[in-house]
Amino acid sequence: MPLKRENKMVIKTKEEAKANFEAAIGYIPDRYKSGVSKADWLTAAKSDIAERNYAEGVGKAISGKTRQKEIAKLSNEDWKKAAVDKGAPIIGERIRGALDKWANNFGPMYDQVASRVAALPPRGVDWRANITNRLVPIVETWRKAAGKT
């Protein structure tokens, strides 16, 4: 008769797991970059299967009110603290990194709107006329510049 082996899983303590996770900070960014450079995200993401899966998942979330239930678990203060703690340290760096993209993508639209603003008639006392003659042309210029009609 074969001997029975005790099937006991060895698991690290939470502290050991955290220390290993923290130690990975030094090499994970390079591994991440390497993996991303080899990946083909677009083919799968634009497929009919992906669209169907997305629609099904969103449908389940809507019908199950998943978003609403998860939000109810948090307070406004929880959200504010997480937003400040996570966002404030990196937002300036992210904006700095996006300045060229902004200039290339948003800059031309901004130029069109600025040009239109300079050509607006003076503000009058009739608020409706101001909306028609000043606001509507600006909104139309933004939409046209963004490729929307």
Ordered by start, the domain boundaries in the chain are 50-102, 106-149
- For 27, phi then psi, to 5°, come to -115, -15
Band of residue 5 on the pLDDT scale cut at 50, 70, 90: low
Q: Does residue 6 have a pLDDT over 70?
A: no
pLDDT value, residue 20: 87
pLDDT tens per residue, range 41-84: 999 999 999 999 999 999 999 999 999 999 999 999 999 999 99
Q: Does residue 142 have a pLDDT over 70?
A: yes
Question: What is the C-alpha separation between 33 and 21, in angstroms, rounded?
Answer: 18
Q: Which residue has the higher pLDDT, 6 or 112?
A: 112
Are 20 and 12 in contact by the 8 Å Cβ rule? The answer is yes
Across 5-9, 78-82, 127-131, least confident range:
5-9
Residues in contact with 45: Cβ distance below 8 Å, sequence separation at least 6, in sequence order: none
First-to-last C-alpha distance (Å) of the chain? 81
Band of residue 12 on the pLDDT scale cut at 50, 70, 90: confident
pLDDT value, residue 1: 60
Kindly state the percentage of the chain with pLDDT values over 70. 95
Question: What is the C-alpha separation between 137 and 117, in angstroms, rounded?
Answer: 9
Q: Does residue 27 have a pLDDT over 80?
A: yes
Q: Does residue 144 have a pLDDT over 90?
A: yes
Average pLDDT, the chain: 92
pLDDT value, residue 7: 67
pLDDT value, residue 149: 77
Q: Three-state SS string across the chain, please? A: CCCCCCCCCCCCCHHHHHHHHHHHHHCHHHHHHHHHHHCCHHHHHCCHHHHHHHHHHHHHHHHCCHHHHHHHCCCHHHHHHHHHHHHHHHHHHHHHHHHHHHHHHCHHHHHHHHHHHHCCCCCCCCHHHHHHHHHHHHHHHHHHHCCCC
Are 84 and 76 in contact by the 8 Å Cβ rule? The answer is no
